[in-house]
Structure 1
Amino acid sequence: MRILHILNHTNRLNGHVHAAVDLACAQSKLGHAVCVASGGGDFDALLHRNNVETVVINHHRKPVNLLKSSFALRSHVAAWKADIVHAHMMTSAVLAWPICKFAGIPLITTVHNEFEKSAILMGLGTRVIAVSGAVGASMRKRGIPASKLRVVLNGTIGSMRFEDRNRVPVALHAPSILYVGGLHPRKGLPDLFKAFDIAYAQHPEARLYVVGEGPFRKAYEEMVGQMDCATAVSFLGAKEDPFAWMAGADIFVLPSHADPAPLVLSEAREARCAVIGTSVDGIPQLLEAGAAGILVPPEDPGALAAVLCDLLDSPARIEEWKDKSQLRIEHLTIDRVARETMDVYGAALSPMSKTAAAAA
């Protein structure tokens, strides 16, 4: 099958980019012809090493630029003879929809950021992939027909992005608590800081490490600076691959207020952390409804502090939850994501087409 993925760019530290790049490489490994049309970026060299072609399609949201990009994309779709076009962001879907309609090619869209109002535009797809069951339910409430929707839960294990990763754990001060992600309000970091401040009063030996960057870093550093736990919190900045920090951590915390299906939970479980996540969006599904990680209410620092103290009270309890993180870990592979996505493609193609028959 000839698959054309469209996304705004291929730069690191963007969840939808990581998911799209992982999928493209996995599909190529399965023997399909794959191309990524984007504004380009960090992962282009990785894509080429994995036999994925790339073409530059500028996604800057200016009318003249989008018109030029539409013509360029139309020419590429025709010349490359795509069987499937897969759009990963709103601008990509809007660019691709009329082209696919005119050419009679199925358009697949993936809803990565369901919390954005513009996510409704992903309903333009012939099939719409939701990255978790919660995202699928939300999109149905927003008017996307159930007949169009398919759920393919995110997973990262086996990703070609990590083929040369350093798996040697970083030495962290134990007991260590780790957060990895963007530094912005949706991720709920102030809740984690307040919770850690409470836990630190009972466990002054504990340390909190924050890996990531974002527009609120300075504000968060100032906030922590006013707390009793200030000397026990380290802001480490962004890491190209934070797995070594996860491998060195005892407890991983994701205190999000909204998170469709965070890839970082797959990585934290692969690193065998004891995981705590909020019971929002796709987090419960990624933590096996609380069987592979502890779920706490969002925006509730007191509840999070209680769980942290419970774990810090007992090293054996931390080890117990590290073991539990491995429950059904094989379900979080990129190979499973790729095969389920190929099933969606097959259903979207005309039953009479030769490509559909070959896919079947």
Structure 2
Amino acid sequence: MRILHILNHVREIGNGIVNVAVDLACLQAKNHHDVAVASAGGEYETLLTKYGVKHFELDQTRTPVNLIHATRRYRGIIKEFQPDIVHAHMMTGVVLGRVLKASADYALVATVHNEFQRSAILMGLADRVIAVSHAVAKSMARRGIPERKLQVVSNGTLGSVRTRSMKEYLPVELQHPAIATVAGMYQRKGISELIAAFAQIASDFPQAHLYIVGNGPEKHIFEEKAQATGFSQRIHFAGFQPEPQRYLLAADIFVLASHRDPSPLVIPEAREAGCAIIATNVDGIPEALDNGRAGVLVPVKDSSALANALTKLLSQPSLLHHWQDQAQQNIDRLTVGRVNQETLAVYSELKIGVL
């Protein structure tokens, strides 16, 4: 099967959409499919080449002049590569894939990663729409995507070609008890609520430290909030880390306080690392935590509820150990191998003409 993935870029910056697509492309090539990626490029080009994945330069910057160039370039890529499947992971790629589909013989697949974006509805232009969680599938159905087009392939990242085995990483040295999050520095990731929750419990647990791993455009906002708490010396901004697993292995508690999160890749990694997990009860997060059996779920945008959950774990060692153990149960389904096999099944269905 000839498979073309379309992405905005393949940069190594912690972008979950890129990570999912790179994993798929490499595993599909490893499984003897002819695979290519079209994007503006980035650090993962080296990894793609290692696995025999061809990379085509495609700049999809949304300006009128550039989109004309991108359309011409895309047409040339299709003519050269002649894919059976075009798999678009972002909105512009889906539009390009649909506009030029009439002149080529391929099936168009789209994966909806961030369904909360208004433009996600355009993913319905594809022949099949893969949702990264059941919550995303229900949301897309409510927005008018026919259920016959929808297929759930829940995210999984364990065994990724981008990373080493978890046991091969050396934990960083943290001060304990260590509370950590790994997230982009955006308001929707709930960093403000996490800082507020830490400020509420910091006096009761004077040895506790908070480690915030990640980068993004709103990082300065959170740094200012941390400074205002009076506990800034115990709130550490680690920035982007190419190996966040080292922080997960060292942390006692992992927190993901997102306002919206369709299917976060970091949760499988935190589970494998053996963190006790506290996360918000929203979108695909409960599914990633076995509906509360693998981690503590708290309401969205509720720093007091988050502080209460932290207090319980920090004050009861047996409870902390219970949730650390629970996190590591039933993680076999969270692998990239399973994601790849389920995705290939979607391709195969389309290839034999079931539209």
Q: Same fold (TM over 0.5)?
A: yes
Q: Secondary structure at the match of 2:200?
A: helix
Q: Secondary structure at the match of 2:268?
A: helix
Aligned residue number for residue 8 of structure 1: 8
Contact 2:3 2:86 (C-alpha < 8 Å) held by counterparts: yes
Aligned residue number for residue 24 of structure 1: 25
Structure 1 segment 1-360 matched on structure 2, within 5 A: 1-12=1-12, 13-163=14-164, 167-351=169-353
After superposition, the Cα gap between the structure-2 partners of 1:101 and 1:328, relative to the gap in structure 1 and judged at 3 Å, is farther
How far does the alpha carbon of each residue in 1:185-223 deviate from its partner, in whole angstroms, 9 at most, with x for none? 110111111111111121111110011111222221111
% identity of equivalent residues: 47
Separation in structure 1 between the aligned mates of residue 217 and residue 108 of structure 2, nearest angstrom: 34
Separation in structure 1 between the aligned mates of residue 19 and residue 84 of structure 2, nearest angstrom: 23
Q: Secondary structure at the match of 1:258?
A: coil
Separation in structure 2 between the aligned mates of residue 241 and residue 75 of structure 1, nearest angstrom: 37
Contact 2:84 2:105 (C-alpha < 8 Å) held by counterparts: no
How far does the alpha carbon of each residue in 1:97-129 deviate from its partner, in whole angstroms, 9 at most, with x for none? 122232131100001111110000000100000
Compute the displacement of 1:287 (Å). 0.4
How far does the alpha carbon of each residue in 1:70-118 deviate from its partner, in whole angstroms, 9 at most, with x for none? 1221222122121100000001111111222321311000011111100
Deviation larger for 273-282 or 195-204: 195-204
Q: Secondary structure at the match of 2:144?
A: coil
Q: Secondary structure at the match of 1:202?
A: coil
Compute the displacement of 1:315 (Å). 2.1
Residue 90 of structure 1 aligns with an amino acid whose one-letter code is M
Deviation larger for 7-16 or 244-253: 7-16
Contact 2:183 2:214 (C-alpha < 8 Å) held by counterparts: yes
Separation in structure 2 between the aligned mates of residue 51 and residue 126 of structure 1, nearest angstrom: 27
How far does the alpha carbon of each residue in 1:241-263 deviate from its partner, in whole angstroms, 9 at most, with x for none? 21111111010000000011111
* Number of residue equivalences: 353
Q: Secondary structure at the match of 1:4?
A: strand
Residue 63 of structure 1 aligns with an amino acid whose one-letter code is P
Deviation larger for 303-312 or 267-276: 267-276
Separation in structure 2 between the aligned mates of residue 15 and residue 257 of structure 1, nearest angstrom: 17
Compute the displacement of 1:164 (Å). 7.5
Compute the displacement of 1:230 (Å). 2.0
Separation in structure 1 between the aligned mates of residue 150 and residue 102 of structure 2, nearest angstrom: 19
Compute the displacement of 1:38 (Å). 0.5
Q: Secondary structure at the match of 1:147?
A: helix
Contact 2:186 2:218 (C-alpha < 8 Å) held by counterparts: yes
After superposition, the Cα gap between the structure-2 partners of 1:347 and 1:14, relative to the gap in structure 1 and judged at 3 Å, is same
Separation in structure 2 between the aligned mates of residue 72 and residue 235 of structure 1, nearest angstrom: 41
Q: Secondary structure at the match of 2:148?
A: coil
Separation in structure 2 between the aligned mates of residue 23 and residue 327 of structure 1, nearest angstrom: 25
Contact 1:85 1:100 (C-alpha < 8 Å) held by counterparts: no
Compute the displacement of 1:228 (Å). 3.2
Q: Secondary structure at the match of 2:203?
A: helix
Q: CA RMSD in A?
A: 1.4
Separation in structure 2 between the aligned mates of residue 149 and residue 159 of structure 1, nearest angstrom: 25
Compute the displacement of 1:41 (Å). 0.7
Compute the displacement of 1:272 (Å). 1.2
Separation in structure 1 between the aligned mates of residue 191 and residue 66 of structure 2, nearest angstrom: 37
Residue 263 of structure 1 aligns with an amino acid whose one-letter code is L
Residue 29 of structure 1 aligns with an amino acid whose one-letter code is K
How far does the alpha carbon of each residue in 1:26-61 deviate from its partner, in whole angstroms, 9 at most, with x for none? 111222111001010111001111111111011111
After superposition, the Cα gap between the structure-2 partners of 1:100 and 1:163, relative to the gap in structure 1 and judged at 3 Å, is farther
Q: Secondary structure at the match of 1:201?
A: coil
How far does the alpha carbon of each residue in 1:278-299 deviate from its partner, in whole angstroms, 9 at most, with x for none? 0111000000000011110001
Q: Secondary structure at the match of 1:226?
A: helix
Unaligned stretches of 5+ residues in structure 1: none
Separation in structure 1 between the aligned mates of residue 353 and residue 136 of structure 2, nearest angstrom: 28
Contact 1:183 1:215 (C-alpha < 8 Å) held by counterparts: yes
TM-score (norm: length of structure 1): 0.95
Contact 2:113 2:132 (C-alpha < 8 Å) held by counterparts: yes
After superposition, the Cα gap between the structure-2 partners of 1:164 and 1:133, relative to the gap in structure 1 and judged at 3 Å, is closer
Separation in structure 2 between the aligned mates of residue 318 and residue 205 of structure 1, nearest angstrom: 16
TM-score (norm: length of structure 2): 0.97
Residue 235 of structure 2 aligns with an amino acid whose one-letter code is V
Separation in structure 2 between the aligned mates of residue 225 and residue 351 of structure 1, nearest angstrom: 59
